[in-house]
Structure 1
Amino acid sequence: MVDASQTISDRIQERMDDLTRAERQLALSILENYPASGLGPLVALAKGADVSVPTVARMVNKLGYKGYADFQADLREELSAIAKGPIAKHETWTGAAPSEHILNRFTEAVIENIRNTMAHIDPVAFDEACAMVADQNRHLYIVGGRITHTLAEYLFLHMQVIRPNLTHVQSTSSTWPHYLLNAGEGDVFVIFDVRRYENNTLKLAQLARERGARIVLFTDHWRSPVHRMADICLTSQIIVPSAWDSATTTMLLLESMISAIQTLHWDSTKDRMQELEAIFDKTKLFRKFT
């Protein structure tokens, strides 16, 4: 039985330890150029991975499919979902949405997104990502895109309080090359990239990786192409009854990360908070009622 909440990529990685050597070789070949790698004929996929046709058939069965045609049908559905623009997303929901109030429908969709996301998050990988972002010996670069720049700004604002040695990278192609001048071995890039993935973001990730940087990626469950370069990939379910995808689950992961990082370095974070409050008092930025 195929779990509809999982992508084919998720299923492959979940079952990787159960695959034979040839099947694992095939799996890695599929993931290398996912999802396009699985859209061609079965024989072409086998040849590209340097495995036999029966190996393809066996692995597809292990993933829960009756045959290669079913596997490809799911893959095409994923590709279609990735490519959807706002109007197409809205039409999908208006045709299938129940009659209840939007507040209830939207909330139910978000709760289901959270359930599915939390069911597939690896706590060990999450903790490792938090440790990387918290490491003050590494310069931290935070990158967002056209929509996700709001998430990047949110993380950057909190990291400014918690730690020094960080940069908010503007994702426009005319400015971000300047930031790469100072990026080096072991530095950390936190990158946000969700469907309708941005070419600028992919190129930035490629160049950062070439300079020896490590990458923590926040993306959707179809996964940005940046995942092929990421050390850790944190995926979220994002579908809601709207022309736009939801950032709620991604924000949940992000705020959980912020909480974890402030705890890792609470003594220094507390000192920085107190110093910041003293500066706020001098600037009279906030009203005081006592």
Structure 2
Amino acid sequence: MNQASMTVSDVIAAHFDALTRAEKQLAGSLLDNYPVSGLGSITTVAENAGVSTPTVARMVQKLGFRGFPDFQARLHHELEATLSNPIAKHDRWAANAPGTHILNRFADAIMTNLRQTLAQMETADFDRVAALLADRRRTIYIIGGRITKALADYLFTHLQVIRPSVTQISANPSSWPHYVLNMQAGDVLVIFDIRRYEQEMETLARAARERGVVIVLFTDPWASPVAKAAAHVFRVHIEAPSAWDSSVVTLFIVEALIEAVQSSGWAETSDRLKTLEGLFEASRLFRKPRQEAPGKT
């Protein structure tokens, strides 16, 4: 993938095996409180990592940056992107909007997001998450934020039909300890957290991980702080010509996971669907097509 489309943390990860011992120590320090840990002076960054200033200079060049100022400029750009509020995002898009219809601009942006997201995603990682969600021995917990709650609702609604033991966590943080209390080692917690990241999500993730829960995170290219506790991270491209981030590609991955889980245990899922349809019928939840009396046209 083109390095220009990668985050600094992606670049570090891609080069990590080629780094010296001191450079790996520096990389670990940078990633520990990313991206803030790389925003001090070169001397401060070196001291915080316990390495020399020349080590910092050598490593950033090894990563493909022209020097430390270029390295920091990329970090500042990432930080600005993660903190952008809806007004700032709208103004940025409006200033550069091409003279085409909004439908075309949105389509171009979404297709770019999809290509970039799939280019970064390993199918093996997707398959591992699908296997976790399909494992009936594990209880699945799902939570979303202020905007991403809609995605969490969507995943929960489908998974609770496909398999048993699926719980949606309330958005109220004061209730979270009750959910964590019931979590067992090996259970799965799916978290949706995109910029602007919600502080309580990291607290929930840490508490769940301490109980041995496997955390799956849906986030953006800059990565929520929850990523530090997550075993599996989907970093989805979300830019759109709008004041709001796009959820289209995230929903695409969610729907693909739903199908993968459904297919892996279709015999059980089919039985559950038949039972559910019977319950719908008994409750008269859905309106039936009106039938004409015999002989009428």
TM-score normalised by L of structure 2: 0.94
Query: What corresponds to 1:126 in structure 2?
Result: 126
Q: CA separation in 1, counterparts of 2:122 and 2:27?
A: 20
5+ residue gaps, structure 2: 292-297
Query: What corresponds to 2:250 in structure 1?
Result: 250
Aligned length: 290
Letter in 2 for 1:159: L
| Pairing 1:1-290 to 2, within 5 Å after superposition | 3-289=3-289
5+ residue gaps, structure 1: none
Q: CA separation in 1, counterparts of 2:225 and 2:10?
A: 14
C-alpha deviation, 1:276, in angstroms: 1.0
- Segment of structure 1 superposing worse, 200-209 or 237-246: 200-209
C-alpha deviation, 1:286, in angstroms: 1.8
Letter in 2 for 1:153: D
What do residues 133-173 of structure 1 show as CA deviations (whole Å, max 9, x unaligned)?
Answer: 22111111001111110000000000011110121001221
What do residues 188-246 of structure 1 show as CA deviations (whole Å, max 9, x unaligned)?
Answer: 10000000100121111111112221100000000000000000111100010000000
Question: Alpha carbon RMSD of aligned pairs, Å?
Answer: 1.4
What do residues 57-84 of structure 1 show as CA deviations (whole Å, max 9, x unaligned)?
Answer: 2221122211000000010011011001
Letter in 2 for 1:121: M
Q: CA separation in 1, counterparts of 2:62 and 2:254?
A: 34
**SS of equivalent to 1:164:** coil
Q: Is the 8 A contact 1:189 1:214 kept in 2?
A: yes
Letter in 1 for 2:146: R
C-alpha deviation, 1:7, in angstroms: 0.8
C-alpha deviation, 1:55, in angstroms: 2.1
What do residues 70-111 of structure 1 show as CA deviations (whole Å, max 9, x unaligned)?
Answer: 000010011011001100000001101111000000110010
Q: CA separation in 1, counterparts of 2:158 and 2:169?
A: 15
Q: CA separation in 2, counterparts of 1:188 and 1:225?
A: 18
Q: CA separation in 2, counterparts of 1:198 and 1:5?
A: 25
Q: CA separation in 2, counterparts of 1:21 and 1:270?
A: 53
Q: CA separation in 2, counterparts of 1:63 and 1:257?
A: 34
Percent identity over paired residues: 52
Letter in 1 for 2:33: N
- Segment of structure 1 superposing worse, 168-177 or 142-151: 168-177
Larger radius of gyration: 2
